[in-house]
Amino acid sequence: MSLREVGAVTGVGETAYSRDSGRSVLALQLEASLNAIRDAGLDPKDIDGIIPYAGAVVAEDFVTNFGIPDLRFSATTPLGGASCVAGIQAALAAIKAGICRHVLLPIGRNGSSGGRIGMRVQQMPQFRVVGEFEMPLGAIAPAQLYAPMARRHMELYGTTSRQLGEIAVSTRGNAILHGNAMMTRPMTIDDHQASRMISDPLRLLDCSLESDGGAAIVVSGAEYARDLRKRPVYVTGIAEGHPDSPSAITQRPDMTRLGLAKAAPKAFAMAGVTPADIDVAEIYDCFTYIVLCQLEDIGFCKKGEGGPFVESGAIRLGGKLPINTHGGLLSQAHVVGMNHVVELVRQLRGEAGPVQVTDAEIGLVTGYGDMGDGSVAIMRGG
Amino acid sequence: MTNDSYDKPMPEPTPDSAPYWAGLQQHKLLLQKCAGCGRIRHYPRPMCDACYSTDVTWVEAAGRGKVHSWTITHHAFVPGFRDELPYVLATVDLEEGVRMNAQLRGADPVSLRIGLPVRVDYERAREGLTLPILRAEG
């Protein structure tokens, strides 16, 4: 028994991305959701499952605003930035169990206008351990908590800041082509190298954006997906993975390996494909280093070879493995990676416009969250 | 410094961690040792993941270790750290087999490397709160 081809992404939707939406988080999520539901050719009242991002908005808000008559399934997948892709796994499991047919996965935030990340993260349950033992010492923000992973990778494997810069530069180029991206100014490696150091080795241009906006998808059971408005994009492999010492990177036996390293082999086995079969990948990019580490953990290259891999041009449009064709969290917007799922679906439908990867048939999307949780989905066009 | 002006995150000790924080006040780095199987663990938590015992004794660490990784922070994410910039946060393998994280004081950034020997020291942050810090050995 597996979740292979149990369901498909049938609808995707987004809002515009900005620094100050002037709207409520719920309003952003409803707009993105309505766009996704209509993209699928469904009516909001067809939705019978909801997996909201853990936080400000709950399933009941959608029942109320959409007048959903019979919500049969709701859950959250609290894996931080790995939540969205992990949510697809939960949706497919519920569909496989016969609980529901069409599951809405909405996300939205006023991540720019709604206040900056500071002391408030100490109160979040997933940060409780570092909140008590590390934040009082001055290790507060993700950039500071993650930087030692990047530093150790550099010391062990010779990875350089310029190689991280290639990820930022390549991603920016895609954002500029894409159209719905916050960052539209060209970036060079020199720009990256000149950007101020935040927490060494992570510079400002290694860090993702703070954004206002929303994105949503609809996941439908395979038998209900076929006759909808758009070609279904089938999920062929999916898994989540939690690293050892999931709440404290400090205590992790190997801090250069993420939860994704446990999940990726399961997803590939389920899908019956290998990394060489992937035509396009949307890789969660809260920081450039996290992209590099995931490329290794997935198996696109060996552990330690991520630097030369990206430096070869492999991840650029037209390269061996184009990634983050929409501009990612680094240059499009930070909507916790749902924009990565949206983009992968558009790539596999052939709807990606100026950033379309030629003949993209099989794609992969990841999530990364909190202190190293991972999730990955492999999809194919219908 | 009065309590009101302290603008850094404060730990909120739990019954599982209170001896650790009390130990720092005494300039001792205390680690949990499982009373069931003898395994030393850190950070403080209720259960041994090897034998599931919740009984612990607290042992004093030697306070010596080697750098596992680090970051040099140039940006204050809360105002209280502004005057300390830039500061080094080091992750250290302690002799007892667990890791700790703390600010490494007085080390030349170019001297930082995996394996750099360090020792634990203590710094009074405010009334009732002592934090561990690290100093390069020798």
CATH of the domain at A300: 3.40.47.10
Percent of the residues in chain B that have a pLDDT greater than 70, as a whole number: 97
Q: Is A137 contained in some domain?
A: no
**Active site (annotated) includes residue A301:** no
Query: How far away is chain B from the Cα of A149, in angstroms, using its nearest Cα?
Result: 7
Phi, psi angles (nearest 5°) of residue A304:
95, -15
Q: What are the chain B neighbours of A148 within 8 Å (beta carbons)?
A: 68-71, 89, 91
Give the residue numbers spanning the domain of A377.
7-114+208-381
Provide the ipTM: 0.96
Length of chain A equals 382
Residue A195 has pLDDT above 90, yes or no: yes
pLDDT in the model for residue A54:
83
Alpha carbon distances (Å) from A42 to A10, A11, A195: 9, 9, 46
Q: Is A249 contained in some domain?
A: yes
Please identify which of the residues A84, A100, A207, A301 carries the catalytic annotation. Answer: A84
Distance CA A134, CA A129 (A): 8
Distance CA B42, CA B30 (A): 10
What is the number of structural domains in chain A?
A: 1
pLDDT in the model for residue A127:
87
Percent of the residues in chain A that have a pLDDT greater than 90, as a whole number: 94
**Active site (annotated) includes residue A326:** no
- Contact (CB, 8 A) for A263 and A375: yes
Please identify which of the residues A102, A192, A334, A340 carries the catalytic annotation. Answer: A334
- Which residues make Cβ contacts (< 8 Å) with residue A228, sequence separation at least 6? A10, A11, A40, A41, A42, A220
Residues 213-242 of A with CB under 8 A from B: none
Q: What are the chain A neighbours of B129 within 8 Å (beta carbons)?
A: 136
Q: What are the chain A neighbours of B114 within 8 Å (beta carbons)?
A: 152, 155-156
Q: What is the mean pLDDT of residues B119-131?
A: 97
Confidence label for B4 from pLDDT (cuts 50, 70 and 90):
low
Q: What are the chain A neighbours of B81 within 8 Å (beta carbons)?
A: 138, 140
Q: Is A148 contained in some domain?
A: no
pLDDT in the model for residue A282:
98
Whether B58 contacts chain A with CB within 8 A: no
pLDDT in the model for residue A120:
62
Q: What is the mean pLDDT of residues A319-336?
A: 98
Confidence label for B3 from pLDDT (cuts 50, 70 and 90):
low
Chosen CATH of B62-138 out of 2.40.50, 2.40.160, 2.60.40, 3.30.70: 2.40.50
Residue B22 has pLDDT above 90, yes or no: yes
Sheet containing strand B56-60, strands side by side? B40-41, B30-34, B56-60
pLDDT digits over A127-160, tens only? 899 999 999 999 999 999 999 999 999 999 999 9
Alpha carbon distances (Å) from A338 to A217, A221, A328, A356: 8, 20, 10, 18
Residue A167 has pLDDT above 70, yes or no: yes
Q: What is the mean pLDDT of residues A211-234?
A: 97
Residue A331 has pLDDT above 50, yes or no: yes
Q: At what angle do helices A83-96 and A338-349 cross, to 10 degrees?
A: 70
- Residue A123 structure tokens: 């109160």
pLDDT digits over A88-121, tens only? 999 999 999 999 999 999 999 999 998 755 556 6
| Alpha helices (runs of H) in A67-141, residue ranges in sequence order | 83-96, 128-133
Q: Is A197 contained in some domain?
A: no
pLDDT in the model for residue A124:
78
Residue A256 has pLDDT above 80, yes or no: yes
Whether B22 contacts chain A with CB within 8 A: no
Residue A112 DSSP one-character state = T
* Mean of pLDDT over chain A: 96
Distance CA A86, CA A238 (A): 8
pLDDT in the model for residue B1:
45
pLDDT in the model for residue A82:
97
pLDDT digits over A73-92, tens only? 999 999 999 999 999 999 99
Q: Where are the domains of chain B?
A: 11-60, 62-138
Residue B2 has pLDDT above 70, yes or no: no
Residue A39 has pLDDT above 90, yes or no: yes
Q: What is the mean pLDDT of residues A42-57?
A: 94
Return the sign of the alpha-carbon dihedral for residues A141, A146, A152, A154. Answer: negative
